[in-house]
Amino acid sequence: MYHFSLLDLSPVPEGHSIAEALANTVDLARAAERFGYHRYWLAEHHNMPGIASAATSIVIGHVAGATSTLRVGAGGVMLPNHAPLVIAEQFGTLATLYPGRIDLGLGRAPGTDMATARALRRHMEQEDSFPQDVVELLKYFDEPTDQTRVRAIPGTGTHVPVWILGSSLYGAQLAAYLGLPYAFASHFAPAMLEEAIATYRETFRPSKWLAQPYFMMAAGVCAANTDDEASYLRSSQVLAFARLRSGKPGKLPRPTTDIAAEVPPEMRAQVEAALSVSVSGSPSTVQSQLRTLLNTYHPDELMLTGMIHDHTARVRSFEIAAEILSGMQTRRKSA
């Protein structure tokens, strides 16, 4: 692993506003830059009371303007919700304003419920045009030819790095076929992680965008001074995920010392399975768990994410993780 990065969903904690959530995102991004994170990605979700990053390209621009060296991007934009030309213009504009710092990760899911998906798209198409849409988008970022009739302006010639995101073999196969970097959503859907890694690496075809496969995995993190404190802080994310699975999404809950009183055992087991690719505990515990993750999956890059109700504790969690991963990087380079 050469880089470690951060995925921020701009969580809206109970008792706080969307404006505060977006201010926290900027504060966390500035901290992430100081801590040594390589990328800072934001994700497109709609009709979610606890997530403030729905207008993803706007938030990316806000974060890029508040930082100076951090790569900022989408993890991801749900391409079926948009015309490829519009996304090319948005990210072409971002790349023009912040050259060399913008990434575009593309997802195939709607990022919301079906009623909201219909509101976003107006017309729900039956056929899957995601591969064609990705290719169309790549062409908008490329150099134009004399035969190019439609251009993304801004966008043309910006060569914004495009990633394929996924939680199944579909994205792994497409990324390998197109020769693009691939990011797996193992932080909430880890079931097919090992198979997706193998499929991507074994079937990868070199392209003008990428000479060899580049795989990034996502993992949750909740680091604190002690294991007990981390467990308490992490309860917010467990509660939020359980409520989402129950069809009752809301703001990020306050932590609890008695999660069993709020989440039935069967639901708790489902949530813990979904969040199983994660590290949680004191610095020594997190270090051991991170080493196990990296030695098991050998990602080219690790992207961390985590939902903690208290913003100061959340920043500290990412700081602890960065200190550990920076130490691992140093030891690897000197070996």
Report pLDDT for 126: 57
The answer to whether residues 223 and 286 touch, using CB atoms and an 8 Å cutoff, is yes
Give CA angle at 168 (275, 246), nearest 5°: 45
Report pLDDT for 111: 53
Report pLDDT for 334: 57
Q: In terms of C-beta density within 10 A (0-12 exposed, 13-18 middle, 19 or more buried), how is residue 124 classed?
A: exposed
Report pLDDT for 147: 80
CA distances from 189 to 9, 121, 168, 240, 331 (A): 16, 25, 9, 15, 31
pTM reported for the whole predicted model: 0.94
- Please give the Cα distance from 222 to 201 (Å, whole number): 30
Residue extents of the structural domains in the chain: 3-220+299-334
If you search the block for the tokens 């990065």, which residue do you land on? 5
**For every one of its 335 residues, what pLDDT tens digit does the chain have, with 9 covering 90 and above?**
679 999 999 999 999 999 999 999 999 999 999 999 999 999 999 989 999 999 999 999 999 999 999 999 999 899 988 999 999 999 999 999 999 999 999 998 765 566 766 776 655 565 678 999 999 999 999 998 878 889 999 999 999 999 999 999 999 999 999 999 999 999 999 999 999 999 999 999 999 999 999 999 999 999 999 999 999 999 999 999 999 999 889 999 999 999 999 999 999 999 999 999 999 999 999 999 999 999 999 999 999 999 999 999 999 999 999 999 998 887 666 55
Report pLDDT for 109: 76
Helices 84-97 & 56-66 angle (0-180, nearest 10) = 10
| DSSP per-residue codes, 170-192 | HHHHHHHHHT--EEE-TTT--TT
3-220+299-334 to CATH, choices 3.40.50.720, 3.20.20.30, 3.30.1050.10, 1.10.1740.10:
3.20.20.30
Report pLDDT for 148: 81
